[in-house]
Amino acid sequence: MMKRALILPLLAVGALAACTPTVRVKVDPINIYAKLDANVRVQLDKEVQSAIQQNPNLF
């Protein structure tokens, strides 16, 4: 029982250590917009709409 408690963390550490050389260059972009509160999203959509209209040279 005590042995297992010791071995498991050691295994975990070993597994992590095995991964260290891996460098993830590209992180998947997350859709933050979809996670926003509904009220915030409505407000944001309004702001976005006017921003698009006010900047015809960019959109």
* Count of residues interacting with other proteins (CB under 8 A): 22
In the chain the first and final C-alpha atoms are separated, in Å, by 65
Which of 1, 23, 25, 55 is in the footprint of other proteins by CB under 8 A? 55
Min dist CB 24 to other proteins, Å, is 15
Rounded to whole angstroms, how far apart are CA atoms 7 and 12?
9
Q: Check residue 10 for interaction with other proteins (CB under 8 A).
A: no
DSSP 57: T
Contact 52, 59 (CB under 8 A): yes
Residues that bind other proteins (CB under 8 A): 28-33, 36, 40-41, 43-45, 47-49, 51-52, 55-59
